[in-house]
């Protein structure tokens, strides 16, 4: 077996080397995307079966190859179903970072009315910042989802459609204890407050601290499924937290929150 492996690597062509490097890079990206989630163990198991399948084919083991052939062919469809959220997250990140994505240099080159866009979104950030300070002072809880792109992968119909201009007073009224919508999230897209009282998907990441509440897990879940920045105000300690790309930052100063909102809406 070792002789076959050494022979294989000695006779690699340039195309085969590039092919091998690309496969390693894809596996590394999948590893990073899945790390900390329940699906990570499934990924490791599927990778082990795939490696075993290659080895049995190289060693000409017909019975094991036949069994693993069936597992690999059936498992491909199952993998797409199991890893649907992770695949979607991977494609969102890929599209966002590509030259043709929303933040790519080609897209920026052809954007019109950029100055007017920045002025409007700066006003929106100021309104949200005012609302966050007042919510913190009143010791209320809040969760504000800021869309980075035009598509967000959660159901806004779980809440109440608002479709109004973003204002500090409107956000404060939504999260007041007497409001029937205060337990859900609000969604902000550009200069519009789209909906309030939205139920967000709950994250099952094992990397999250055990002492965080449902509001924080929902914020991370939203950032796992969609290209969004989520701002959380804790009802227990009035501290700000941020969720983005499936990661959670706790106890973030208001200046840092404002900076991240700039990056999400303007950069």
Question: Tokens standing for 151?
Answer: 């598509």
Q: Tokens representing 237? A: 């300690």
Instruction: Report the range of poorest mean pLDDT among 146-155, 167-176, 189-198.
Output: 146-155
The confidence band for 131, taking pLDDT boundaries of 50, 70 and 90, is very high
Backbone dihedral region of 165: left (phi > 0), alpha (psi from -120 to 50 degrees) or beta? beta
Distance between CA atoms of 139 and 127, rounded to whole angstroms? 18
Other CB atoms closer than 10 Å to residue 29's CB: what's the count? 13
Q: Where are the domains of the chain?
A: 2-82, 114-265
Range with the poorest average pLDDT among 43-52, 71-80, 86-95, 108-117: 108-117
pTM as predicted: 0.60
Q: How confident is the model at residue 253 (pLDDT cuts 50, 70, 90)?
A: very high
Report residue 72 as tokens.
């690999």
CATH (residue range 114-265) = 3.40.1700.10
Q: At what angle do helices 62-82 and 84-97 cross, to 10 degrees?
A: 70
**Reported confidence tier of residue 11, pLDDT bands at 50, 70, 90:** low
pLDDT at 118 over 80: no
Is the confidence at residue 106, as pLDDT, over 50?
Answer: no
The band of 79, judged by pLDDT with boundaries at 50, 70 and 90, is low
Q: Assess contact for 139 and 196: CB atoms under 8 A.
A: no
Determine contact, residues 135/233, Cβ cutoff 8 Å.
yes
Quickly state the pLDDT bin for 91 (edges 50, 70, 90): low
What number is the average pLDDT over the span 175-190? Answer: 91
Averaged pLDDT, 69-78: 71
Question: How far, CA to CA in Å, does 122 sit from each of 126, 196, 197?
Answer: 6, 21, 25
DSSP 156: G
């Amino acid at each position: 077996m070792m002789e076959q492996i050494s022979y294989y690597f000695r006779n690699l062509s340039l195309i085969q080397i590039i092919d091998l490097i690309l496969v390693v890079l894809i596996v590394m990206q999948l590893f990073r995307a899945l790390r900390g989630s329940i699906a990570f163990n499934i990924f490791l198991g599927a990778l082990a079966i795939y490696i075993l399948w290659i080895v049995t084919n190289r060693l000409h083991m017909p019975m094991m190859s036949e069994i693993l052939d069936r597992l690999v062919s059936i498992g491909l469809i199952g993998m797409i179903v199991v890893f649907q959220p992770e695949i979607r997250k991977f494609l969102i990140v890929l599209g966002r970072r590509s030259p043709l994505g929303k933040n790519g240099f080609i897209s920026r080159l052809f954007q019109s009315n950029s100055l007017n866009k920045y002025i409007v979104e700066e006003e929106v950030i100021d309104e949200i910042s005012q609302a966050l300070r007042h919510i913190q002072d009143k010791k209320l809880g809040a969760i504000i989802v800021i869309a980075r792109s035009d598509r967000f992968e959660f159901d806004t119909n779980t809440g109440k459609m608002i479709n109004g201009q973003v204002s500090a007073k409107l956000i404060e009224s939504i999260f007041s204890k007497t409001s029937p919508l205060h337990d859900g999230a609000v969604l902000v897209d550009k200069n519009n407050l789209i909906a309030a009282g939205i139920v967000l998907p709950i994250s099952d990441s094992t990397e999250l601290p055990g002492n965080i509440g449902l509001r924080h897990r929902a914020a991370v879940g939203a950032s796992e499924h969609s290209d969004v920045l989520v701002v959380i105000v804790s009802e227990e300690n009035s501290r700000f937290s941020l969720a983005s790309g499936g990661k959670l930052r706790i106890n973030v100063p208001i200046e840092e929150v404002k900076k991240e909102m700039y990056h999400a809406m303007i950069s």
